[in-house]
Amino acid sequence: MAAIDHQKELNRAGANVEGWWQHTVHLARRYPLGAIGAVMVFIFVMAAIFADVVAPHDPLQTSAAHSLNAPDGSMVFGADMMGRDVLSRIIHGARISLAVGIGSMLLGGIIGVVIGLMSGYLLGWFDLITQRIIDIMQALPLLVMALVMAAALGPSLENTIIAISIPLVPQVARVVRSSTLSLREMPFVEAARAGGMSEWRVAVRHVLPNTVAPLIVLGTAQLGSAILTEASLSFLGLGVPEPYPSWGRMLSESAAEYVRTAPWLVIFPGVAISAAVFGTNLMGDALRDILDPRERS
**Residues 274-288 pLDDT 10s:** 999 999 888 888 887
pLDDT in tens, 247-274: 888 888 776 777 788 888 888 888 999 9
Q: What is d(CA 103, CA 164) in angstroms, rounded to the nearest whole number?
A: 9
Give the homologous superfamily in CATH for domain 31-62+75-296: MetI-like (1.10.3720.10)
% of the chain residues with pLDDT over 90: 5
Q: What is d(CA 46, CA 171) in angstroms, rounded to the nearest whole number?
A: 29
Q: E strand or H helix at 156, and its extent? A: none
Q: What is the mean pLDDT of residues 179-185?
A: 77
Phi, then psi, of 69 in degrees rounded to 5: -65, 135
Domain ranges of the chain: 31-62+75-296
Cite the DSSP H helix spans in the chain.
2-30, 32-49, 51-54, 86-122, 124-138, 142-153, 157-183, 187-194, 199-202, 212-235, 247-258, 264-291, 293-296
Neighbours of 282 (CB within 10 A): 23
| Predicted pLDDT at 246 | 85
Record the pTM: 0.81
Q: What is the mean pLDDT of residues 130-155?
A: 85
Average pLDDT, the chain: 81
Phi, then psi, of 139 in degrees rounded to 5: -70, -20
pLDDT in tens, 4-32: 554 555 455 555 555 666 767 777 788 78
Residue 158 has pLDDT above 70, yes or no: yes
Range name among 64-68, 172-176, 199-203 with the lowest pLDDT average: 199-203
Q: What is d(CA 238, CA 251) in angstroms, rounded to the nearest whole number?
A: 14
Q: What is d(CA 262, CA 265) in angstroms, rounded to the nearest whole number?
A: 6
In the chain, the largest separation of any two C-alpha atoms, in whole Å, equals: 77
Task: Decide: 112 and 238 in contact? Cβ < 8 Å.
Answer: no
Range name among 90-94, 187-191, 262-266 with the lowest pLDDT average: 187-191
| Predicted pLDDT at 18 | 58
| Predicted pLDDT at 255 | 67
